Structures are given as C-alpha cells and as structure tokens.
Amino acid sequence: MSKQTKWVKEDPNNKFVFWPSEEMKKKAWISDESIYEEAAKDPVSFWAERAKKGLEWIQLWTETYQWNPPHYKWFINGKINASYNAVDRHNKTWRKDKAAIIWEPEPVNEPKRVLTYKDLYRDVNKFANVLKTLGVKKGDCVGIYLPMIPEVQIAMLACARIGAIHSVVFSAFSGESLNNRMVDAKAKILVTADGYHRRGKIINLKVNADIGVRNTLVKHVIVFKRANNEVNMVEGRDLWWHELMEEAPIYCEPEVMDSESTLFILYTSGTTGKPKGIVHDTGGYLTVAYLTAKWDFDLHDDDIFWCTADIGWITGHTYSCYGPLLNGATILIYEGALNFPEVDRWWEIVEKYGVTIFYTAPTAIRMMLRWGEEWPKKHDLKSIRLLGTVGEPINQDAWMWYFNHIGNGRCPVIDTWWQTETGATLINALPGIGPFIPTVAGRSFPGTTHDILDETGQPVKIGEGGYLVQKSPFAPGMLRGIYRDPERYKAQYWSIYGDRIYYTSDGAIWWDDLGNIRLTGRVDDVMKVAGHRLSTAEVENALTQHISVAECAVVAAPHDVKGEVPIAFVVLKQDVSPSHTLENALFNQVVRVIGPTAKPARIVLTDALPKTRSGKIMRRILKALVKGEMIGDVSTLMNPETVEDLKKKVNQTD
Ligand code: WTA
C-alpha cells in the first residue's frame, strides 16, 4: 500500500488518499480502470456477460432486462438453482475437499468444525429431503431462527434447493419479533436450535422460538441440538434435526427455478413500526452476490474470508453465505461475542485460521479503538490482505485505526455502501483500483448508476449534500418488492422522485468529479444502532404497548461507539407515578418486544411532548435536543413551555 497522496480533492477534514499497492494490483481480479467505462457503455450486456460466465444456468434467459416502472426483471425465462451453484458445482471439482465453512464456537475449549464442500453438499441434500418429507413445497416459506452455526447456511441452501423461500430472523430478536415475521410470511416450518453460547452463557433460543410460532401456520419446529440445554419439545410439532437427518436420503434433485422466482425474504426496518419483508429474486441476486464478493473482496482460492455480520442481516446472507460460496471460497463463521473471553478474541481467531479478508462494521472498529491497539498487537495479523466495512458511515479516526492497526498500513479498506434492499454492495472502491479515502465509500459498482439530487430533483454539484438515488438499469440484485405489500414498495422507494428513480433514504455528497461518493447517513427515521437497522417507530410501538404509557416519541441520538442510539421520551398515563422500577420495566418492554439491540440508551419521562396545534408530535425538536443543536422557532407549538422543561431533563440525565 503506497501511503501516497495524490490529492483527489482538497479537504481540511481529510488528508488521506490511498492507492493499491503493486502487489494488490497484480493479484486483483480487476485493476484496470476501463471496467467502469466498459460497463457504462452497455450495462445490460455487462451484467449478462457476468451472469453467464459466473453461474451455471439450467437454461439461459430469452431477454436480459425488462423495465416497467417501478418494476424491473432480469434474465427473463432463465432457469437456475441457487444451491446447485453454491455447492454442487464445487463438489464436482477439486474443491470438494476444500473447506467451505470453518466454524469457531464461542467456548474456547470446544473444537472447531470444518465443513468441506463435500460435507456441505451432503448436508444440504439431506436437509432438503427433510424439508420435503415434512411437506415443504416450492414457493412455501421456511423460517430460520438460528445462531451462527453452519446449520444456518445448510438450512438456507436446502430451502433454495427445493425452491422454498427462506426467511431468516436474527437470533437476538425476541420471540415476539419472530412471531410477527412468521405470521407475515405465512411460514410453514421453523428451523431453530436449543440454544447458543454468548459471553460465556447459554442462551435458550427454543423458548423464544416457542413464542415465535404461537398462532402461526408453522406445523413443525426443527430443533438443532447445539448447546445441550434443556428445552421443551412439543410432541408431534417439534422434531430434532439430528434424528431427521439420520433418516434422510442422501440426494435431492435441485428444483428448476425461474430466475425471477423468490429466493428469500428478509425483514428489515422501515419508517413505520411494521418491518417489511424485502423480496429477493434468484438469478439477479446470485449474479451480484457472486460478482461483488469476487471483485470487492478480491476472492481467490487461497483466501479465508471472514464477514463478521450475523446471518440475520443482509450482510450475512450475501457475504457469509451466497457470495463466497458461489465463488467456491472458504468462509469463517464465529458463534459468539467479539469480547469473549477477552477483547482480542477476533484477532486470536484471525491468527488461528490465517484469515485473509476481514469485513466488519464501523461500530466494532470504534469499540476496538477504545480498547486500544495493544490487543491486536498481541497477534500476528499478517495474513490479512484486505479489509472491509459496512453498515454505517465510518469516521476518519476509525478508518485510520483499522487501516494502521489491523491492516498495518498494507491493506486497502473497502468501505461498501448498500442496503437490505440492494441485496449486494453498490458503492465502494475496488481493491485493485482505489482510491481508498477515509469516509468516502467510492464509486458506483460497474454497471450501476447513482446520482445525488436536491429536494426538487435537480442533481447537486460536487461538495454539496443531497439524496442518493439509483437509476435504471437497476442492479440485478435489487429488491423485487415488499412481501405482500405492493403499495408500500411504491410509496417507499418510487414516490419521492417518481417511479423511474430509486430513492435510497440516504444522504450523500459527491466527493470529486471521478464519481466518488461520501455517505452521510439516513435521512428518514431509520436508525443504525451498532450497525443494526432499526426504526424509531418500532421502539415507539413497543413502548406504547406498555400499560403505563400514554404516549411516546423515540429519536436517534449520536453515539461515539454505536453510531446512533435510541432515546425515548415517554409520557405516563395520568394515574401512574414514575419510579425506577417502572423505568426498568419500560426498558425490559423494548427488549421483550423487539430484542436487546433495540433497548433505548435513555428513557426521559415527561409530562408532555412538544406538539403542533394540530396535535402532531414535533420530532424535529426532540432530535435537536438530543443532538444538542439549535432548536429554532417554537412559536407554532401548542405547548412551547415543554421545550424548556425537556431541555433541562435531557441535560440533567446527561
Ligand atoms: C447504511 C446494510 C454509510 C445506510 C448493508 C443504508 C452505510 C443502511 C454503509 C442499510 C456505508 C450501509 N456507509 N452508510 N458503507 N453501508 N449504510 O439494510 O444508511 O442493514 O441505507 O444494510 O445502512 O442498512 P441495512
């Protein structure tokens, strides 16, 4: 890595611009800048060529791209199977004995597990047969509520093999969150585990799973025995994974799937209290998962790729499952907490396995930065050759710390911008091309086009802020809809600038005239709390369900490590008096309804919320309060006096 510094643009806040080393340029799949131009000339052919070369199709498409705003389709009439591409293909080559998944359990004394492509092939086939035997058919939805163990990839790929749609739910979400998702998706089967290890304790996942399947269409719960904790098995409904697998036939013919058929849905937070099921197709998604994994992370056969994201998020789907496996790569997954038993656990794992590509979230980097560089220094991290970040804007200090103390100044830091909706990365520097600029994600991935618009829809100038949008042809892996909610799909993404422009809900700035983009964060009420996507409305919903709460408003406050945290302003019912016990009950309420990741950083009890004369809560004022910004004009409020009162309260608890 040359610490060189050809200025792309003068900026007093940013003195660093890095370019790929000669070694990286030589090794990288892509090191010729002309790829951008080539793709821009004919993006549809660019994607068609990559889809053809990168994947094995049962039948090629008759038309590459169709656009009926706000809908688009790719590889029309193409036939393909995702599990065949991720597993069977490699099982037919020397890669059958190559490690597909290396699993590190949290307890340090427990042995690791390594699944070769042959092992993965066997288990995916068998589990696909298990699902079939239980009556799962093409198009049915299967819920997956598992910790980070190889069975999660096995279950996902088994669904894909038989054409069932998987809906993975983050294992730290509550039973109630799981329940909402199972109901919405009309899932027939839930795959879960008895428990898992987290910070030295066993978490009983089955208890949550039982809440999750109440009053749903789920006929069977398949339970993987991971932690050997005692669980309640409901006769006739609950079945042990290992018993089913013992009897399952060893081969299952992969279903011939239409390219546009749904591979999975993944629920994510929007601006309302109800999470939306983002629908992803098969052929288009596989194409971008394959290509971005290969080009962004420069995946080669000798790499060990560790994406630390949980499988319950899109990052886990695309870079801890489909993307690398489609490339025949080796992935590492880790069950537990990053600071167990000590805060250098991650670096110990990197050293132990010789991880070469490491992909994580800025929030984790900021945490590591706080703990100090002595922790990574204890370990030999020389195997790492590429670093990635995702999930939220990264500040310069965190970027530089990552670059210097984890990458030792040798490795490019690939800052990838994308969303659950986009399925795969869209804006980032390519490792063999660069430049790598702290706080600047990079350029649009070849074959995609973004713009930054002002409120009136006019493109903004370099250095000015605006709203990030995407233009046709939309990347093949973009969402195909919101599950069973076509109106919300239109309203959310295709109404701000019309039905021909995809609205991302992110703020952005053009960094230079090369097309480099700096992302500045969400412009809606979606928060990124320690990298987890969460809506303020969901937290409000959870709180207002509590019997003592009259009304509440939740806003995001900036946080040094987590990026953002929810702050809840709560008005209690008239006959309820505030107490510590009640406050704790409110915190617990959020944990019970959503999960621990949504727990507010602070609950501010108040007699009233600032409202307009028509009774609308002025969240703008609350946001300004928690950010310590100027509050502005309050004269139009129905109750301007509450603002002073709230100001005192916010500062008091500080
Ligand atoms: C944010 C995660 C800045 C953004 C893959 C987006 C980022 C939201 C970056 C989607 C980045 C993701 N720089 N912001 N590199 N990557 N974001 O659906 O606000 O969990 O809209 O997908 O994360 O979050 P989601």
Q: Which of 255, 290, 305 marks a domain boundary?
A: 255
Give the Å distance between the CA of 600 and the centre of ligand 1.
21
Give the Å distance between the CA of 514 and the centre of ligand 1.
22
Give the Å distance between the CA of 75 and the centre of ligand 1.
27
- Residue 119 φ then ψ, to 5°: -60, -45
The pick from 313, 506, 525 for probing ligand 1's pocket by mutation, whose C-beta has the most ligand atoms within 8 angstroms, reads 506
Read off the CATH number of the domain in which 287 is found: 3.40.50.12780
Q: Ligand 1: which residue has its CA nearest to atom 15?
A: 417
Does the CB atom of residue 506 touch ligand 1 within 6 A?
yes
Q: What's CA 311's distance to the chain center, in Å?
A: 8
Does the CB atom of residue 534 touch ligand 1 within 6 A?
no
Q: What is the largest CA-CA distance in the chain?
A: 73
Per-residue model confidence (pLDDT) at position 652? 82
Ligand 1 atom with minimal separation from the 416 CA = 15
Instruction: Flag whether 264 is in a domain.
Output: no
Residues 319 and 464 both lie in one domain = yes
Residues 411 and 467 both lie in one domain = yes
The pick from 267, 314, 318, 390 for probing ligand 1's pocket by mutation, whose C-beta has the most ligand atoms within 8 angstroms, reads 390
In which domain, by residue range, is 573 found?
A: 529-651
Q: Ligand 1: which residue has its CA nearest to atom 25?
A: 419
Instruction: Flag whether 72 is in a domain.
Output: yes
- How many whole angstroms separate alpha carbon 528 and alpha carbon 17? 27
Say if residue 312 is exposed, middle or buried (CB neighbours under 10 Å; 0-12, 13-18, 19+).
buried
Instruction: Flag whether 86 is in a domain.
Output: no
Residue with tokens 């309804």: 593
Give the Å distance between the CA of 417 and the centre of ligand 1.
6
Find all residues with CB under 8 Å of 125, minimum gap 6, and list them. Answer: 158, 161, 250, 251, 252
Instruction: Flag whether 93 is in a domain.
Output: no
Q: Which of 520, 544, 562 marks a domain boundary?
A: 520
Residues 565 and 427 both lie in one domain = no
Q: Ligand 1: which residue has its CA nearest to atom 20?
A: 533
Residues 377 and 468 both lie in one domain = yes
Contact present, 269 and 535 (Cβ < 8 Å): yes
Strand 262-268 to 276-281 pairing: antiparallel
Q: Ligand 1: which residue has its CA nearest to atom 11?
A: 417
Does the CB atom of residue 313 touch ligand 1 within 6 A?
yes
Helix H, strand E, coil C: the string for 48-82 is: HHHHHHHCCCCECCCEEEEEECCEEEEEECCEECH
Give the Å distance between the CA of 328 and the centre of ligand 1.
26
Summarize the chain as % helix, strand, coil (round to 5). Answer: 35, 25, 40
Does the CB atom of residue 522 touch ligand 1 within 6 A?
yes
The pick from 417, 469, 534 for probing ligand 1's pocket by mutation, whose C-beta has the most ligand atoms within 8 angstroms, reads 417
In single-letter form, the type of residue at position 32 comes to D
* Alpha helix segments (H runs only) across 318-474: 323-326, 345-353, 362-371, 374-377, 396-401
Ligand 1 atom with minimal separation from the 425 CA = 5
Render pLDDT for 320-361 as a digit per residue (tens, 0 to 9).
999 999 999 999 999 999 999 999 999 999 999 999 999 999
Residues 122 and 244 both lie in one domain = yes
Q: Ligand 1: which residue has its CA nearest to atom 24?
A: 419
- How many whole angstroms separate alpha carbon 430 and alpha carbon 445? 8
Ligand 1 atom with minimal separation from the 504 CA = 21
- As a whole number of Å, the CA-based R_g of the chain is 24
Cis-peptide, bond into residue 341, ω within 30° of zero:
yes
Give the Å distance between the CA of 128 and the centre of ligand 1.
33
Instruction: Flag whether 108 is in a domain.
Output: no
Residues 442 and 330 both lie in one domain = yes
Does the CB atom of residue 392 touch ligand 1 within 6 A?
yes
Give the Å distance between the CA of 505 and the centre of ligand 1.
10
Does the CB atom of residue 268 touch ligand 1 within 6 A?
yes
Low-confidence ranges of the chain (pLDDT < 70): 1-15, 653-654
> What is the token pair recorded at 618?
């002025």
Q: What is the DSSP letter of 460?
A: P
Ligand 1 atom with minimal separation from the 420 CA = 18
Does the CB atom of residue 422 touch ligand 1 within 6 A?
no
Q: Ligand 1: which residue has its CA nearest to atom 22?
A: 419
Q: What is the DSSP letter of 320?
A: I
Instruction: Flag whether 597 is in a domain.
Output: yes
Residue 505 Ramachandran class (φ > 0 left, ψ -120 to 50 alpha, else beta): left
- How many whole angstroms separate alpha carbon 34 and alpha carbon 37? 5
Q: What's CA 166's distance to the chain center, in Å?
A: 16
Read off the CATH number of the domain in which 184 is found: 3.40.50.980
The pick from 415, 418, 493 for probing ligand 1's pocket by mutation, whose C-beta has the most ligand atoms within 8 angstroms, reads 418
Render pLDDT for 616-648 as a digit per residue (tens, 0 to 9).
999 999 999 999 998 888 888 999 999 999 999
Read off the CATH number of the domain in which 639 is found: 3.30.300.30
Instruction: Flag whether 95 is in a domain.
Output: no
Ligand 1 atom with minimal separation from the 315 CA = 5
Find all residues with CB under 8 Å of 342, minimum gap 6, and list them. Answer: 375
Does the CB atom of residue 393 touch ligand 1 within 6 A?
yes
The pick from 428, 482, 533 for probing ligand 1's pocket by mutation, whose C-beta has the most ligand atoms within 8 angstroms, reads 533
Per-residue model confidence (pLDDT) at position 14? 57
- How many whole angstroms separate alpha carbon 332 and alpha carbon 345? 14
Ligand 1 atom with minimal separation from the 393 CA = 3
Give the Å distance between the CA of 506 and the centre of ligand 1.
8
Number of independent structural domains in the chain: 3
* Alpha helix segments (H runs only) across 334-432: 345-353, 362-371, 374-377, 396-401
Give the Å distance between the CA of 271 and the centre of ligand 1.
15
The pick from 266, 392, 425, 444 for probing ligand 1's pocket by mutation, whose C-beta has the most ligand atoms within 8 angstroms, reads 392
Give the Å distance between the CA of 86 and the centre of ligand 1.
26
Give the Å distance between the CA of 626 and the centre of ligand 1.
22
In single-letter form, the type of residue at position 349 comes to I
Residues 470 and 606 both lie in one domain = no
Residues 419 and 509 both lie in one domain = yes
Residues 168 and 239 both lie in one domain = yes
Give the Å distance between the CA of 250 and the centre of ligand 1.
40
Per-residue model confidence (pLDDT) at position 653? 57
Residue 556 Ramachandran class (φ > 0 left, ψ -120 to 50 alpha, else beta): beta
Per-residue model confidence (pLDDT) at position 1? 44
Does the CB atom of residue 508 touch ligand 1 within 6 A?
no
Give the Å distance between the CA of 603 and the centre of ligand 1.
26
Give the Å distance between the CA of 478 and the centre of ligand 1.
14
Q: Which of 232, 255, 278 marks a domain boundary?
A: 255
Strand 165-168 to 262-268 pairing: parallel
Give the Å distance between the CA of 77 and the centre of ligand 1.
32
Residues 541 and 456 both lie in one domain = no
Instruction: Flag whether 111 is in a domain.
Output: no
Residues 304 and 361 both lie in one domain = yes
Give the Å distance between the CA of 612 and the centre of ligand 1.
32
Residues 459 and 564 both lie in one domain = no
466, β-bridge pairs: 508
Say if residue 246 is exposed, middle or buried (CB neighbours under 10 Å; 0-12, 13-18, 19+).
exposed
Give the Å distance between the CA of 388 and the centre of ligand 1.
13
Does the CB atom of residue 390 touch ligand 1 within 6 A?
yes
